[in-house]
Amino acid sequence: MLESDNPRPQRTLRRPVVVEGVGYWSGLRSRVELRPAPAAVGVVFVRRDLCPSVRIPARLDRRVDAEARTNLASGAARVEMVEHVLSALAGLGVDCCEVSVDAAEMPGLDGSSRAFVEAIDSVGFEEVGAPCEPIVVDRAIRVEDGRGWMELSPPRFEGLSVEYLLDYGDGPIGRQRCAVDVTPENYRVELAGARTFLGVQDAERLRASGRGLHVEFSDLLVFGPEGPIGNTLRWPDECARHKALDVVGDLSLAGRPIHACVRSSRSGHRLNAMAVARVLALAAAGEGSPAGVAREARRWSA
């Protein structure tokens, strides 16, 4: 792994901004206040509803396993379904932000990161002086979990590019591909509006377990045999775009931007986290020949 030769200044928000909504899983209303933060703080969630309040850095070592979402914890305190707000911050190049919340779960909104992007854009950015220090991938890395895989290779430009290959067979979701260079403008236009999706059988299973009872099919993409129920697609490949959106958010758990060319197939939050772990491990080691590390990386799997 390499350091960038031309780091840009770190960025934060110019002033606080609020996003409110209801959590998909809990059904509880939550208020998220995105606040400016000083250099080197990174992204930190603050559970202000707890006494005393608890700070939970958005880092891989705070991640806890959860079904179909990314959760973070500090002791008994958690923040849940954080991938969309993290994706918005990373996609727009916000390095330092305090995410103050009054409930564990982030609002589901329309299942995308669009509301967070619009909120961030409404207040703008400012530089905080210290240089941003991305991790630049300089060799091949591959992680697998028996179902999906993710490959990282040296970047095509000074940033992150994501190609997601989605394969749901011959059903209504089908096979899709999304490829995007994750610049702030591309993120706004190509990824931010892509919504969470699931099949109608999964939706009914969640409802039978007492979760998501308040969520209507029009609130996100629920696929029946003929396609989305009570909704229309924003793009033919919206599902692959949403998976790419999740990749951007999950990779930000490195605590620093990752500059790499990423290809991923059938990966989810757990595999995304495995890739971050591998990148951080190689960056921390900082030794060994690129060829040797590449051979080891190709063998590594869950």
Amino acid at position 252, single letter: S
d(CA 10, CA 96) in angstroms, rounded, equals 7
Pairing of strands 141-144, 29-36: unpaired
Pairing of strands 54-57, 43-47: antiparallel
* Residue where the block lists tokens 């608890």: 54
The strand pairing partners of 198, in sequence order, are 222
User: Cβ(227)–Cβ(236) under 8 Å?
Assistant: no
C-alpha distances out from residue 239 to 194, 215, 232, 301, Å: 7, 19, 12, 25
User: Cβ(74)–Cβ(59) under 8 Å?
Assistant: no
User: Cβ(232)–Cβ(172) under 8 Å?
Assistant: no
Alpha helices in the chain (DSSP H): 83-91, 114-123, 184-186, 200-208, 238-251, 269-285, 290-299
Among the listed residues 84, 242, 259, 269, the single catalytic one is 269
- The dihedrals phi and psi of 59, each to the nearest 5 degrees, come to -135, 155
Catalytic-residue membership of 214: no
C-alpha atoms less than 13 angstroms from C-alpha of 178 in its C-beta half-sphere: 27
Q: Which residues are catalytic?
A: 269
